[in-house]
Structure 1
Amino acid sequence: MTISADELLTTTRSVRKRLDLTRPVPMELVRECLELALQAPTGGNAQLWHWIVVTDPGKRKAIGEYYARSWNAYYGSGSSARSLFKDDPARAAAQERVSDSAAYLAEHLGEVPVHVIGCMTVPAGLPEGNQAGLWGSLLPAAWSFMLAARARGLGTAWTTLHLAYESEVAELLELPANVRQGVLLPTAYYTGETFRPARRQPLDEVLHVDRW
């Protein structure tokens, strides 16, 4: 697949309903994407990240069950995407679509052929207060993985809902106590043709130069 940098950046979407749940993803393709992800910036060049690639059907099923439980609680709380921007018909319609696709992923996560979980080693435990420096050393690499996957015909979705059961998932995957999870990236070939840029707020509504 040949794709320009601008197209890659504007058409890498969170893929949920269009993940191909039946087509295996070669591990070498996942490795290619992770090799590129490791070129992302990391604070102090410490490279404290770790990547758990889950392909075992039983473990994926178990993660999917925790994820569905977390989604049900999140949706029931009234704070999901569907509840946002109800007074704006144009944005409300988009939120409905996002919520529907998120519900689909919650129902089928365990069937997605590859789960990539980005983690950080935290020898002294999670810091109190501002944790931007810690997670800022992981999340750019996770996004790079998503971009690399998109360029290779794979779909991904950025999600953290499983973290409501982080300790249970850590036990399932035998993670050391000083390794904390930051993001779950379900990964599969996507169905359909391609993706278009998403409708976003106009830049001038969110841009501030020198002051608010």
Structure 2
Amino acid sequence: MMIDDALTTTRSVRKRLDLTRPVPLDLVKECLEIALQAPTGGNAQGWHWIVVTDPELRRAIGEHYARSWNRYYASGTSAASRFADDPVRASVQSRVSDSAAYLGEHMGDVPVLVLGCIATPGGLPEGNQAGLWGSLLPAAWSYMLAARARGLGTAWTTLHLAYEREVAQLLGIPDNVRQGVLLPTAYYTGDTFRPAPRQPLDEVLHLDRW
């Protein structure tokens, strides 16, 4: 797959995740090997990756995720509530919300759950945390791109972090390691992924000044 194709067709896959087809662990490891080539601040490489395949652990994480999703949706701030005054974007947001609701119901059924974590020896820093999370999130995106190139679908989500402590206890994650992203991973059904509609560049581009 050409790099531009991977970058523009790697979508958040939710409804089209194949919940019945096993994913070889070696394939997940291949994707993580690529993720480890991502940049980190000071070359610290403080990341950790928890790959969850045990059915009971996946089910438990899925239950936490479902509770978080239900609370998020009830708050009125989910994707479905945005851009209501724009019929075109509202339609897209409705589809996004519908697929997110599906994932909320089925997170525990996804064959592989990958949690990207990062060491925080002194706890979370006060103020700007861009350096910390910027040393993890590019690697998570690299993982998603590598998965896409291998016929796997993923979705970027952080909703489980409402229950980060509970998930940490479930998986034995130390107190000095924080979770940054949850990446459900499975083979996808169909292959019609294409670039998504986005705002025109001129609306968000600022040259020299705002």
Q: Same fold (TM over 0.5)?
A: yes
- Tell me the residue number matched to 1:15: 13
Could you tell me how far 1:194 is from its partner in structure 2?
A: 3.0
- What is the aligned counterpart of 1:105 among 103, 106, 123? 103
- What is the aligned counterpart of 2:60 among 57, 62, 77? 62
- Tell me the residue number matched to 2:41: 43
Could you tell me how far 1:159 is from its partner in structure 2?
A: 0.1
SS at match of 1:115: strand
* 1:173 partnered with 2:171: yes
In structure 1, C-alpha distance between the alignment counterparts of 2:126 and 2:104, rounded to whole Å: 31
Identity %: 80
In structure 1, C-alpha distance between the alignment counterparts of 2:50 and 2:75, rounded to whole Å: 30
Could you tell me how far 1:146 is from its partner in structure 2?
A: 0.1
Residue pairs, 1:80-95, within 5 angstroms: 80-95=78-93
What count of residue pairs does the alignment treat as equivalent? 210
Deviation string 1:78-101 (CA, Å, 9 cap, x unpaired) is: 000000000000100000000000
**TM-score normalised by structure 1 residue count:** 0.98
- Tell me the residue number matched to 1:71: 69
Residue pairs, 1:172-211, within 5 angstroms: 172-211=170-209
RMSD: 0.5
In structure 2, C-alpha distance between the alignment counterparts of 1:181 and 1:79, rounded to whole Å: 23
Could you tell me how far 1:128 is from its partner in structure 2?
A: 1.2
| Matched AA of 1:184 | L
Deviation string 1:12-68 (CA, Å, 9 cap, x unpaired) is: 000000000000000000000000000000000000000000000000000000000
**TM-score normalised by structure 2 residue count:** 0.99
In structure 2, C-alpha distance between the alignment counterparts of 1:42 and 1:117, rounded to whole Å: 17
In structure 2, C-alpha distance between the alignment counterparts of 1:87 and 1:198, rounded to whole Å: 20
Could you tell me how far 1:193 is from its partner in structure 2?
A: 2.1
Large movers: runs of 4+ above 2 Å: none
| Matched AA of 2:67 | R
- Tell me the residue number matched to 1:164: 162
In structure 1, C-alpha distance between the alignment counterparts of 2:34 and 2:64, rounded to whole Å: 30
What stretches of structure 2 of length at least 5 have no aligned partner?
none
- Tell me the residue number matched to 1:152: 150
| Matched AA of 1:142 | A
In structure 2, C-alpha distance between the alignment counterparts of 1:193 and 1:95, rounded to whole Å: 21
- Tell me the residue number matched to 1:53: 51
In structure 2, C-alpha distance between the alignment counterparts of 1:126 and 1:69, rounded to whole Å: 25
Deviation string 1:155-187 (CA, Å, 9 cap, x unpaired) is: 000000000000000000001110100000000
